[in-house]
Amino acid sequence: MDKNPAWLIENSDGTIEIRFEERPLIIDSTEVKALTMREPTVDDQITAQRAKGGEGEAEVTLIANLVELPPATIRSLPIRQYTRLQAALAVFYA
């Protein structure tokens, strides 16, 4: 049995697909039904930790980098959609 929710898909290349089919993201006036998050490198983590603003800002910076979106876009997401990105990130640390 798969331990991940149906909206979180681990791909064979090490990336994770996060689906938003029932409630798509709106990014730059475009409906987005899925994002792909690549696996973080040690450098990604160090760069994120250097972000000003504490742990929350570091996490936003890291997630933004891994899904190739600006941090401001990640900050503007509704919390239910952001928690999906947090869940995807946690898979890499499990």
The predicted structure's pLDDT at residue 54: 87
The predicted structure's pLDDT at residue 2: 63
pLDDT band at 1 (very low <50, low <70, confident <90, very high): very low
Whole-angstrom distance, CA of residue 93 vs CA of residue 40:
10
Q: For residue 35, give the 3-state DSSP assignment.
A: strand
Q: How many CB atoms lie within 10 A of CB 67?
A: 19
- What confidence tens digit (pLDDT) does each residue in 2-42 have? 689 999 999 999 999 999 999 999 999 999 999 999 999 99
- What confidence tens digit (pLDDT) does each residue in 40-73 have? 999 999 999 888 888 999 999 999 999 999 999 9
- Which distant-in-sequence residues (6+ apart) come within 8 Å of 90 by Cβ? none
1 CA to centre of own chain: 24
Task: Please tell me the total number of residues recorded for the chain in this structure.
Answer: 94
